[in-house]
Amino acid sequence: MSAAVHAQTIDFNHFDEEKMNQVLFSKMKDYTKSNYSSPLVQTNIGKERIYRFIKKNCDNLSLEELNAKINIKLLRKWDSRAISQTDLLGNVGMISSMDCQNIKTYQELAGRCITGWLNSENLIFIKWSQIAEATTFYNRRTREVFVLWAYYN
């Protein structure tokens, strides 16, 4: 009952990407704390650049291509020098996209993202780091939302 009271309804004519980022971060923080007993720290490293990249390329690339390019071209820029000179992963991003027609709240959308990541190959990255950020882009034309969760090392 309390979850429904605190749920924030999505107005698709005025989708609040920052609110979605905060809701997702909060839900991931709760998940990490309850499952791994460790705090999660929010950062905004490269957030604006990642947002612009998703906005520019979401219609032209498949979700897999979009994820690969973000991880290779963007997140790699903020890896430490030692990691960036190897084939090891430093910073890791996981992206989801969803048609929002049947989603009512930001909390429901965040929950679906987390469930999707937990039921995919991305599960290996959950708890990758204690420093993370959420970046959301809502495509008003297609009513599709793209959500990237990035872990920073």
What confidence score (pLDDT) does residue 89 get?
A: 57
What is the distance between the alpha carbons of residues 21 and 18, in angstroms, rounded to a whole number? 5
What confidence score (pLDDT) does residue 109 get?
A: 95
**Residue 130's CATH number:** 3.40.33.10
Contact yes or no for 28/108 (Cβ under 8 A) = no
Q: How many domains does the chain have?
A: 1
The beta-strand segments (E) located in 1-91 are 41-42
Residue 6 lies in a domain: no
Walking along the chain (153 residues) 10 residues at a time, the average pLDDT comes out as 61 94 95 86 89 95 92 74 54 88 92 92 80 94 93 81
Residue 8 lies in a domain: no
**112 phi and psi angles, rounded to 5 deg:** -65, -40
**97 phi and psi angles, rounded to 5 deg:** -135, 145
What confidence score (pLDDT) does residue 106 get?
A: 96
What confidence score (pLDDT) does residue 72 get?
A: 83
User: For 102-111, how does the pLDDT look when each residue is reduced to its tens digit (9 = 90+)?
Assistant: 899 999 999 9
Residue 11 lies in a domain: no
- Tell me the residue range of the domain where 142 lies: 19-152
* Residue 132 DSSP SS3: strand
User: Whole-prediction pTM value?
Assistant: 0.84
